[in-house]
Structure 1
Amino acid sequence: MLCLNVDTGEVEHKQFVDIIDLIDEGDLLIFNNTRVIPARLFGQKETGGKVEVLIERVLEDQTAMVHMRSSKSPKSGAILTLEGGLKVEVIGRKEALFHIKFIAEGNVFDLLEQYGHMPLPPYIDRPDEEQDKERYQTVYNEKPGAVAAPTAGLHFDEAILQTLSQKGVQTAFVTLHVGAGTFQPVRVDNIEEHQMHAEYAEVPQDVVDKVLATKKAGKRVIAVGTTSVRSLESAAQASNETIEAFMSDTNIFIYPGYEFKVVDAMITNFHLPESTLMMLISAFADREKVMAAYAAAIEEEYRFFSYGDAMFIHHE
């Protein structure tokens, strides 16, 4: 784990288990408890052409919004036959996303567990394996709906969480169902023109209460992962005060110049250079310091991206 002091730019190299010593009694760790669903489906169109479906969001009434990859986009009314004989109907389209309906009995999440594949990030160049269904999950996952793991949380195991609890570190859970757009690079020259994808986020009232009490006590709110950061800052944007309960879509785009209202420190993985996630980190820690830290990480042969190593970004 690389530790970056955003005030001094100092970089330290530690093991992740050392996080126990870096977080103080009374500090509040906030995790994203989303669960990754087997959101990738393969099949064919009525013409016999191959089609790949990636669930973006499960809706009510057996429907979902999806990304679709095929030689020619299917039209409304088209029936797709997926692996295992599962059938879906294309019932509409909204910009890049298709609206589909599952022609099957049972809960959509159960159908995905039966027929779906884990949506590994595009830079993991191998087929998904059965063990990815649990390996690509945090130990505290609870609410199904994400198509990518909040990967900073993968570093925490039950032993570390228990030790932190015994030390008097508080924990709380938000939910942000990570969408496929999390991997999209910024393709505009002016970053203010970049349109963030919308994702559903929940910051319950009990989390708000813990945040306010932690701030009042002079302790730190530490977000585990950029999705937790975006959830908390979305809840702050919705409030005239500091933060309020939040249950809505968010397309918050955090880039240099943004003033953080809730998060005092964060734990995150190493990100792709042109990603919105890298911009979020640069907003918190100053881009020059971030790039210097990344250079140090490369020199020390840190592992990058989803199954890679962590950073702890903090103030003095």
Structure 2
Amino acid sequence: MFSPDDYDFELPTEQIAQAPASERSAARMFVLAEAGAAVSTHSRVGALEAVLDGVAEARGQRPLIVVNDSRVVPARIHVFRATGGRVELLVVDPAALGPGARVRAWARGARRLREGEVLRLPGAHGETALLELRYLGAEGEGEAADSRARVFEIVRGQLLDALEAVGELPLPPYIARPEGPDAADRERYQTLYARHRGSVAAPTAGLHFDAAMLERLEVAPITLHVGPGTFLPMDTEDVRAHRVGSERYSISEASAARIEAARAEGRPILAVGTTATRTLESVALANGGAIVPGSGRTELVITPGYRFSVVDLLLTNFHLPRSSLLMLVCCLGGRERVLAAYAEAVAAGYRFYSYGDCMLVERSG
């Protein structure tokens, strides 16, 4: 059995980043290379190209960088009952849905909701409702069910349009914003290459890439729409029983061809973020090791013993203790090696979580 305690660490509260670095590429970057033992260096994201030159010298080929181009949707809304009571919803899987479609959401203040009652989302100035939702109840039981989710049916309106009009950016709870997200958050909690709307959390490793870097680096975009379950701490006795929920992904023909061509040439694949990693590995698992174009859903949780078939290097932020994301990094880089690096990063004053610094990890062994 593998316990969540195996992925725990101590972090001073003051090292949880409350704002991003002054410039995207100014964030610190902890480089954990594989050379038979842990070899670490301290750098900045702006020096990534020089670091990759070193990888190319060691491996004979420059890595292909794979990013997640999903765009964060302002998916937190406040809807109202006929009695005037307010319910906060975090839409779990925001998509282009209209009347008759079902919507899943995490809810606050929903204990007294009655099945069949209709809730209204007013416009910015209280005008006619942008969205009306009929409450259908808690999500049913089953292995893929989300015990936190409530299910609603759209009676009136278009979901994405309503969210974009009056929704709130769903910043993680460890970023304190008593008055809600501000204008700076709306810019910086989004990657520069974000294209396809559908995430409720940013693929945060990509927040460090600025326009100048993107012009110089060879990047292949794929899409995974991040759900809130990805960041939940593991609360099962055995981490292999942990679930993150189903998330939508897609890979274009152009990106699939570029990734497969790079692999055929023996080039390393550098995934930017755990979401890009899980997408690549999910597609490979379903297609005999190949990256093929298409779309689907994944519930992949990478647990101890997993053998990576695509990703050679990972650029990722520092993650929550006891989380499946930290476990993924440990599976790639080696648990003792990665946790030792986390302890070194804490001692060196690195900033943690979504707005914090990042780590470049080379696959162990």
Q: TM-score, normalised by structure 2?
A: 0.80
User: Which one of 45, 48, 67 corresponds to residue 106 of structure 2?
Assistant: 67
User: Which one of 191, 201, 226 corresponds to residue 138 of structure 1?
Assistant: 191
Check the 8 A contact 2:249/2:298 in 1, yes or no. Answer: yes
Question: 2:211 matched to 1:158?
Answer: yes
Question: 2:336 matched to 1:288?
Answer: yes
Letter in 1 for 2:48: I
Deviation at 1:31, TM superposition (A): 0.5
* Structure 1 residue aligned with 2:151: 99
Q: RMSD of the alignment, in Å?
A: 1.9
Moved more, 118-127 or 38-47: 38-47
* Structure 1 residue aligned with 2:26: none
Question: 2:326 matched to 1:314?
Answer: no
Distance 2:280 2:343 in 1: 29
Distance 2:259 2:110 in 1: 49
User: Which one of 10, 13, 29 corresponds to residue 65 of structure 2?
Assistant: 29
Distance 1:172 1:148 in 2: 21
Distance 1:303 1:108 in 2: 35
Matches within 5 A, 1:260-271: 260-271=308-319
Letter in 2 for 1:185: P
Distance 2:190 2:298 in 1: 22
User: Which one of 59, 78, 82 corresponds to residue 46 of structure 1?
Assistant: 82
Moved more, 150-159 or 182-191: 182-191
Distance 1:109 1:211 in 2: 31
User: Which one of 120, 123, 134 corresponds to residue 90 of structure 1?
Assistant: 134
Structure 2 CA distance for partners of 1:153 and 1:48, relative to 1, 3 Å: same
Moved more, 23-32 or 192-201: 23-32
Deviation at 1:183, TM superposition (A): 2.0
Distance 1:124 1:83 in 2: 27
Q: Which runs of 5+ in 2 are unaligned?
A: 1-28, 54-60, 141-146
Cα deviation code 1:220-240 (max 9, x no counterpart): 110000000001001101112
Question: 2:248 matched to 1:204?
Answer: no
* Structure 2 residue aligned with 1:167: none
SS in 1 for 2:164: helix
Check the 8 A contact 2:77/2:89 in 1, yes or no. Answer: yes
Check the 8 A contact 2:119/2:135 in 1, yes or no. Answer: no
Check the 8 A contact 1:255/1:282 in 2, yes or no. Answer: no
Moved more, 11-20 or 210-219: 210-219
Identity of aligned residues (%): 38
Distance 1:71 1:141 in 2: 32
User: Which one of 33, 42, 67 corresponds to residue 5 of structure 1?
Assistant: 33
Matches within 5 A, 1:114-129: 114-126=165-177, 127-129=180-182
Check the 8 A contact 1:41/1:83 in 2, yes or no. Answer: no
Deviation at 1:315, TM superposition (A): 4.9
Moved more, 142-151 or 41-50: 41-50
User: Which one of 137, 151, 159 corresponds to residue 108 of structure 1?
Assistant: 159
Moved more, 238-247 or 119-128: 238-247
Deviation at 1:104, TM superposition (A): 4.3
SS in 2 for 1:244: coil
Cα deviation code 1:35-79 (max 9, x no counterpart): 000100013323333310101113533442211111514233212
Deviation at 1:205, TM superposition (A): 2.8
Cα deviation code 1:165-184 (max 9, x no counterpart): xxxxx211110000111221
Letter in 2 for 1:74: L
Distance 2:156 2:134 in 1: 14
Q: Which runs of 5+ in 1 are unaligned?
A: 165-169
* Structure 2 residue aligned with 1:55: 91
Distance 1:264 1:118 in 2: 32
Letter in 2 for 1:98: R
Q: TM-score, normalised by structure 1?
A: 0.92
Check the 8 A contact 2:133/2:156 in 1, yes or no. Answer: no
Deviation at 1:98, TM superposition (A): 2.4
